[in-house]
């Protein structure tokens, strides 16, 4: 670890909530990834329907009880966590890649090209995100010119949510990268590379991009929690991840009519969404404090 890395780590360690949040995220992700192993260890099946054991309260056999179909809530939480975390991480990375590309091009070339890209970015920012997501998520894919194998795939709702959120979630990263690129492109090492005749693409990738990644990492980390909330909202409205694929959002949808008789069905997925989103937000704050040289902590 270089001197800059040690400095970042020292600053990050001063942020206690960020450290705890990082550990919590690792624990949740590890439990979600180990869901098949936990399923085998408990001798249960997350997809098995048992109508004779519907809405059972937490017990020694079913630690968090069963749902309206007699399925184990703990296992569904773990498998649902895999989906919710996957949506948050992949959509955030997709948005970061798009935003970084737009910001690099706008900041490096400048002029009318910069103006055009930034006005387009402002237009995307001005869009009402949630209503737009609801409209796009409600589209019937079978009526679009798509192959039947794609439109009828059981995972298509997962891919669609990632695509839609990534399509509109890149604007913050684009503006941050553009601002950083405008600063970096006038430095001596960039001017030297231009003087040596290196191509614009090589200069952007080899010399500018490594120096503007810090705000991208922070913005991406902070966006994961927001994306998970969007996925939960869309799934709660029945427009997100569709059964039989479990997610924390559609688990809340199934629980809303049973809140008086089986409150644990709403409490556990709601608690997981709250804890995970808060953990990513605190982690993003800690990374921002660590990376931003203007950060002053008491």
Half-sphere exposure of 92 (CA within 13 A, CB side): 24
Give me the residues of the chain with pLDDT under 50, please: 296-298
What is the full DSSP assignment across 164-230?
A: HHHHHS-HHHHHHHHHHHHHHTTSHHHHHHHHTT--HHHHIIIIIGGGSHHHHHHHHHHHHHHHHHH
- For the entire predicted model, the pTM comes to 0.85
Q: CA angle, corner 106, sides to 105 and 110, nearest 5?
A: 115
Q: If we measure between CA atoms, which residue out of 239, 264, 258 comes closest to residue 249?
A: 239
What is the structure's pLDDT at 149?
65
What is the structure's pLDDT at 148?
66
Instruction: Please say whether the beta carbons of 73 and 265 come within 8 A.
Output: yes
> Which domains are delineated in the chain?
9-45+61-291 (1.10.3720.10)
Q: What are the Cα distances from residue 112, in Å, to 24, 102, 109, 185?
A: 46, 14, 9, 17
Q: How many Cβ atoms sit within 10 Å of the Cβ of residue 16?
A: 10
What is the structure's pLDDT at 227?
87
What is the structure's pLDDT at 193?
85
Entry field: residues in the chain: 298
What is the structure's pLDDT at 3?
62
Helix (H), strand (E) at residue 93? helix 73-109
What is the structure's pLDDT at 105?
93
């Amino acid at each position: 670890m270089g001197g800059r890395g040690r400095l970042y780590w020292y600053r990050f360690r001063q942020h206690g909530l960020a450290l705890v949040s990082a550990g919590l995220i690792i624990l949740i992700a590890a439990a979600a990834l180990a869901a098949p192993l936990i399923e085998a260890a408990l001798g249960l099946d997350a997809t098995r329907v048992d109508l004779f054991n519907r809405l059972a309260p937490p017990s020694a056999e079913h630690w968090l009880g069963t749902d309206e179909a007699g399925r184990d809530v703990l296992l569904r939480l773990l498998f649902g966590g895999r989906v919710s975390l996957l949506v948050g991480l992949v959509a955030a990375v997709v948005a970061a890649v798009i935003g970084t590309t737009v910001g690099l091009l706008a900041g490096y070339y400048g002029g009318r090209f910069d103006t055009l890209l930034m006005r387009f970015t402002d237009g995307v920012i001005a869009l009402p995100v949630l209503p737009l997501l609801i409209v796009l998520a409600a589209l019937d894919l079978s009526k679009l010119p798509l192959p039947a194998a794609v439109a009828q795939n059981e995972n298509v709702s997962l891919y669609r949510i990632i695509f839609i959120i990534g399509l509109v979630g890149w604007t913050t990263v684009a503006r941050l990268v553009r601002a950083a690129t405008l600063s970096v492109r006038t430095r001596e090492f960039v001017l030297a590379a231009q003087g040596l005749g290196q191509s614009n693409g090589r200069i952007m990738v080899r010399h500018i991009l490594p120096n503007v990644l810090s705000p991208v990492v922070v913005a991406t980390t902070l966006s994961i929690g927001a994306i998970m909330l969007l996925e939960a909202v869309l799934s709660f409205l029945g427009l997100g991840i569709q059964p039989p694929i479990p997610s924390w959002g559609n688990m809340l949808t199934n629980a809303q009519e049973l809140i008086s008789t089986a409150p644990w069905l709403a409490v556990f997925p709601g608690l997981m969404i709250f804890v995970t989103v808060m953990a990513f937000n605190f982690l993003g704050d800690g990374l921002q404090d660590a990376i931003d040289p203007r950060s002053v902590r008491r």
